[in-house]
Amino acid sequence: MSQVSIQRALEDGLAKENRRILSDWRALIVLRRASQNIAAEHRRWSKSPASLHEVRSILGRLAAQGHLRPLDGLPHFYEVASPFARKTPVH
């Protein structure tokens, strides 16, 4: 079995909540839940992010890689850019 990445954990957590917009605090919650629910040997990260600063670093990296798109005018809010995300406009 392959290990779960942070990107996959975020996408799966958002899909369970039927969301495609992500804020830094929501990412913190989703990653904390994933860290509790996914055994350490089955995930690529060692510990859950402890602060918004750590989460913002992760989200910035995922945005730079094209997995997330920053929302104009809304700091620390992102749209999931994966192919399976719903494509209806964000209002």
In CATH, the number for domain 6-80 is 1.10.10
pLDDT of residue 89: 54
pLDDT digit string, tens, across residues 21-68: 999 999 999 999 999 999 999 999 999 999 999 999 999 999 999 999
Confidence of residue 83 (pLDDT cuts 50, 70, 90): low
Give the residue, 19 or 24, on which the prediction is more confident.
Answer: 24
Question: Per-residue DSSP letters for 27-76?
Answer: HHHHHHHHHHHS-GGGBS-SS---SHHHHHHHHHHHHHTTSEEEPTT-TT
> How is the chain split into domains, by residue range?
6-80
